[in-house]
Structures are given as C-alpha cells and as structure tokens.
Amino acid sequence: MGMHSPSSALDQLMRRAFALAARGPARGVNPQVGCILLADDGTVLAEGWHRGAGTPHAEVDALSQLAPGAARGATAIVTLEPCNHHGRTGPCAEALIEAGVATVFYSVSDPGPASAGGAERLRAAGIAATGGVLTEEGEALLGDWLPAARLGRPVVTVKWASSLDGRAAASDGSSQWITGPAARGDVHRRRAAADAIAVGTGTVLADDPSLTARDEQGSLLPEQPIPVVFGRRRTAPDAAVFSHPHAPLFYDGLELRAQLADLHARGIRSLFVEGGPTLASAFIAAGLADELLIYLAPMLLGGPKLALGELGIPSIASAMRLELRSVERLGDDLLLVAQPSPTPSTAHTATAAKGH
C-alpha cells in the first residue's frame, strides 16, 4: 500500500515512470528504472529510462533532454531512489542537485551498500525527497534484482525430483526420469525464467545434461539460462553442456558464497540449482537456498541414493524447519514449494560460517 490513494496524480505519474522503466532490459547487472521530470505547473518536461549497464541512469537520461537550467525548480518522479555512488556514470543524486531539481518522489529505496543514501544526499542539499510511492508495484517491477541486490548474490532456488521415499536416483545412479512429463514441463518453464542453471560435476558425469530449457517437442524455449557447473573434476570436451546456446561457466565450488557473488557481478539475479544431491546439500547447508522445489513421484526406489546428503544437523532439535508455500499436483507427481524459515537473511548469517 502506498501513502496515496490509488487515483492520485502522483500515483498515475509513478505508474507512467514504471512503464518507462519497463522499456529497459529486464536482465543484467542494473535494474529497470524510469524517471519523469515535471515543471511547476505539472507539465512533463522530459521522460527517461535506463537502457542497461554503461548507459546513463534514468534521471540523467531525462535531464540530458533539457537545456541547461530548464530543470530548475522541477519535480522528479523516479521508480528507484536516486543512486549516490560513482559507477560508470556519476551519481544521480548529484546530477539532480546540479540541475536544480526542487522535489523528488521515488518508489523503492536503493538497497545497494555502495549506491544507497541518495535521498539523504538530496535532503542535505535542500531537496524534498520522499520515498515509498507505490512501493509494492515498484518492488514487483524490479523482480529478482532487488532481493539479489540485498543479498549480494543471485536468488537461489534448489530443485530436486525424488521418489516418495526420498531417493533422487536408483541404486545404479539412473534418475531419468523419476517424474512425468507435466512435472518436467514445469521444470523447463522455470529454467527458462532463471538467469542461470547450476549442477555439480557428479551430475554432468552421470547424466551429461544439456541444461537447456525446452518445450514438449524438445525445441529450445526463447529464453535460455546460462549453464553453470560446480566442481573440480574436468568436464569432457564433448559434454552436452558445451552445445548450450550460452557458454558454460565453471567454478570449483569450494567458496560457494564468493562464487555466487561473482555470478551476481556478471548480472545473474536468479540461479536454479538442479542438483545433484551433493551440490544441493552444500547450498542448503551453507544457508544459500532461498527456495526449495521438491517434485515427488509416486514411486519407491529404496537404496542409498538419497535426495540430500549431509546437512550438518545432529539431532531433531536442530532440524531445518521449512515453510510450505504451495503444494500442486502435476500429472501423477506433486510439486512442493518450501522456504527455509524463519527468514532467509537471518538463516544465512547463522549458517554462513559452516561452508562445505
């Protein structure tokens, strides 16, 4: 809920700024941001939006359309708090101050440790800066960029498919396919929505997965996640992952947190971890799983190939409690969506020292 009624002029302008923001690229290092500059009498002086890393921020894009001095006394409506850091372009707070803008309304506060503080900087220069305009809509527009910026790493979803008795493969290691076509279709749609997809070297060696997102006919979906392989063992040069439309990234997996930060720096906001059990367990034990997707097939496999391995939980009292978000039937299978509780951010700090 914003601080204004849904029909207020400010809300309408902010929604226009959201629409401008949405013209920018939805993936990558930088968020989608829109900006409108208004004259005293409410006429629109300029509209701007951010077109991706290395290009001007929305505020600067809007200001650049005006003659020097033309923004004096103007009001800026911005979807994200003006940044306060010197990146590839100068800080937007400074640009607004220099242009003589008098009032700033923004939707979402900047979460970045390096870029936050823009509103304070504006206020120190005598500009009336007010945030919280349609925050929910502003946050929805930013998608995974916002939680990823808060965490300093991609948002991580860990997925596995298991039998009802919690096995991720049969005794001989074969696991294709535990679930049916409806569940697999759901996985492929979620792959396409993620920026990157990860597996461990064990899965690459056992299954030679292509790590692509495909439709029922096996054709590639328009959006493909970047394939990421964690582990020290070498991947054979003729492995299917090398035929992926994106070049695969390789990490040894020894410093998961730092390696996730590296993925984030490359513009990856969401990571879909598809296993296997060793890698999935490492992410969960390190407090790096924000969401779990568990596809349960009505079958029993028995044997030693458990869906998860060691999590460092010695007794039932320290069980990792999950909040069940949804249960859905997909063909004959079930999809359970769960989140570690209580809150991911405190859980991360508590388990961060464990590593793997």
Q: Which stretch binds ligand NAP (CB under 6 A): 28-36, 68-76, 238-246, 268-276?
A: 268-276
What b/e string do you get for 20-29 counting C-beta neighbours within 10 Å, with b at 16 or more? bbeebeebbb
Q: Which of 89, 109, 175, 212 binds ligand NAP (CB under 6 A)?
A: 175
Q: In the annotation, is 216 catalytic?
A: no
Least distance (Å) from ligand NAP to the CB of residue 295?
7
Burial of 43 (0-12, 13-18, 19+ CB in 10 A): exposed
- 126 secondary structure, DSSP code: T
Least distance (Å) from ligand NAP to the CB of residue 227?
13
CA atoms within 13 A on the CB side of 66: 25
Closest CA to 207 of 215, 199, 196, 217: 199
The H-or-E segment that residue 338 falls in is strand 333-340
Least distance (Å) from ligand NAP to the CB of residue 312?
12
User: Applying CB under 6 A, does 263 fall inside the site for ligand NAP?
Assistant: no
In contact, 32 and 19? CB cutoff 8 Å: no
**Interface with ligand NAP in residues 193-222 (CB under 6 A):** 199-203, 206-207
Least distance (Å) from ligand NAP to the CB of residue 91?
37
Tokens of 183: 């569940």
Measured distance CA(126)–CA(121) in Å, rounded: 9
Q: How many residues does this entry show for the chain?
A: 356
Least distance (Å) from ligand NAP to the CB of residue 187?
9
Tell me if the bond preceding 87 is cis, omega within 30° of 0. Answer: no
* SS3 category, 289: coil
Q: Which stretch binds ligand NAP (CB under 6 A): 115-123, 273-281, 320-328, 333-341?
A: 273-281
Which residues on neighbouring strands pair with residue 292, listed in sequence order? Answer: 158, 338
For the chain, give the longest Cα–Cα distance: 75
User: Applying CB under 6 A, does 260 fall inside the site for ligand NAP?
Assistant: no
Measured distance CA(110)–CA(236) in Å, rounded: 43
Question: Cβ-closest residue to ligand NAP?
Answer: 253
Least distance (Å) from ligand NAP to the CB of residue 306?
9
Q: Which of 168, 239, 260, 338 binds ligand NAP (CB under 6 A)?
A: 168
User: Applying CB under 6 A, does 335 fall inside the site for ligand NAP?
Assistant: no
User: Applying CB under 6 A, does 259 fall inside the site for ligand NAP?
Assistant: no
Which entry of 47, 59, 81, 274 is annotated as an active-site residue? Answer: 59
User: Applying CB under 6 A, does 230 fall inside the site for ligand NAP?
Assistant: yes
User: Applying CB under 6 A, does 284 fall inside the site for ligand NAP?
Assistant: no
Which residue ranges make up the site for ligand NAP (CB under 6 A)? 160-162, 168-169, 173, 175, 178, 199-203, 206-207, 230-233, 253, 256, 274-279, 282, 356
Residues involved in catalysis: 59
